[in-house]
Structure 1
Amino acid sequence: MRAALMECTPPDVTRIVTAHGCFAQACLLAHEDLHAFCSKDPAQKGSASAVLVGSTSFKATLHYRLAHALIAMAGIGPHARADMEAYASLVANRGKLLSGAEIHPRCAIGRRFILDHGWGSVIGETSVIGNDCYLLGGVTLGATGIAGNPAGKRHPTLGDRVQIGAFARLFGDIRVGSDVFIGTHCCVTHDIAPHSVVTLRSQTQVVRSGVSARA
């Protein structure tokens, strides 16, 4: 994280950020993300070093934690808010180049977040993700429109322990309850109740929470 700061911000900004409590909190959250990844992905063989050095998707999470801290510091100290937000964007884009995943620095992600095989994933600006969530590659948390989207809340909100399979797409200001499993290639545009399972079968998407529904 210090290396990313040194590459993306001037030396005086690097000193201010590393001395701030937001940076310490970002490091703590990244540490929790790292150990959650080790414990939940058997391919990592429980090795924190394997994740930290070899996992490109973890680099996206690491850069998000730092970029989000910079957003939290915007307007603090001698540097203008616009400057800090620009540095945050630069850090986030560095993470995108290293990982292939785009996580907006203003989105809110809870503790012990795992992005596994994250290439092609996009997490929009107003997305909210709870604790202990697990996303695979190609997942999109996006807005319903393309151009002219409103400035307010326009991306999904996920509860705790939500799992989302590869290439699933969630659009709009929808709420996905805690302990929901969303299978691969699903397209979700409506709220999902807690403890539901969403799957795609023969081009018919089924939500199992006591009631089935077509997408």
Structure 2
Amino acid sequence: MLEDLRAYCRRDPALYGVRVAEVLLYPGLWALWGHRVAHLLYRVRVPFLPRFLSQVTRLLTGIEIHPGAVVGRRLFIDHGAGVVIGETARIGDDVTMYHQVTLGGRGWQRDAKGSRRHPAVGDRVTLGVGATVLGPVRIGDGAEIGAMALVVADVPAGARVRAPAAVIVPDSLPHNAGARK
């Protein structure tokens, strides 16, 4: 737990001076701690309770981590709202994850029961806001997945994946409204 606290304090620039105590209000930290307990119960095959605990944690934090997911050390979930981590996901050490990230499967019609259906994320990976990684893909160590990127294939170590930036359509600008007539 102390290691998790230190990781949050080191990686969040908003935590400094007296504000360091605010780390105890971070939903990502509580979701991580709830997951660690649920995962332990899941591994010893306690029925129902691990999933119940994960759903209570989701209700309180807005972050859903399936008890079967394997989470490495010092995971930093910044903001956290809308994060979903699936049952067979594997997350390495020192990963940074922003809000609305999904580590999910491709769907019941494509994923066989008992198979690895979710991503494996390496060490020191950054997953930007709204990044979606689907299926049994591997994200290599040190990779950066940009905001709103959709990843459905393996990403090599150190790679940067970016979604296309939004483009302003000139005809949609208010000062061109009369030109369209």
TM-score range, shorter chain: 0.7 to 0.9
Match of 1:31 in 2: 2
The answer to whether residue 163 in structure 2 is matched with residue 200 in structure 1 is yes
The answer to whether residue 102 in structure 2 is matched with residue 140 in structure 1 is yes
Match of 2:82 in 1: 120
Query: How far apart in 1 are the matches of 2:21 and 2:43?
Result: 29
Structure 1's unaligned 5+ residue stretches are 1-29, 75-83, 204-215
| 20, 25, 30: which one aligns with 1:59 | 30
**The structure with more helix, counted as a fraction of residues:** 1
Q: Is the 8 A contact 1:67 1:88 kept in 2?
A: yes
RMSD: 1.8
The answer to whether residue 144 in structure 2 is matched with residue 172 in structure 1 is no
Q: Indicate the SS of the match to 2:161.
A: strand
Structure 2's unaligned 5+ residue stretches are 167-181
Query: How far apart in 2 are the matches of 1:48 and 1:86?
Result: 36
Q: 4+ residue runs of structure 1 moved beyond 4 angstroms?
A: none
TM-score (normalizing by structure 2): 0.85
Query: How far apart in 2 are the matches of 1:198 and 1:61?
Result: 26
| 28, 31, 48: which one aligns with 1:86 | 48
Q: Percent identity among equivalent residues? A: 37
Query: How far apart in 2 are the matches of 1:71 and 1:145?
Result: 23
- What letter matches 1:32 in structure 2? E
Shift of 1:146: 4.8
How many residue pairs match? The answer is 165
Q: Is the 8 A contact 1:58 1:116 kept in 2?
A: no
Query: How far apart in 2 are the matches of 1:34 and 1:85?
Result: 30
Match of 1:191 in 2: 154
Between structure 1 and structure 2, the one with the greater Rg is 2
Match of 1:22 in 2: none
- What letter matches 2:157 in structure 1? P
- What letter matches 1:67 in structure 2? A
Match of 2:65 in 1: 103
TM-score (normalizing by structure 1): 0.72
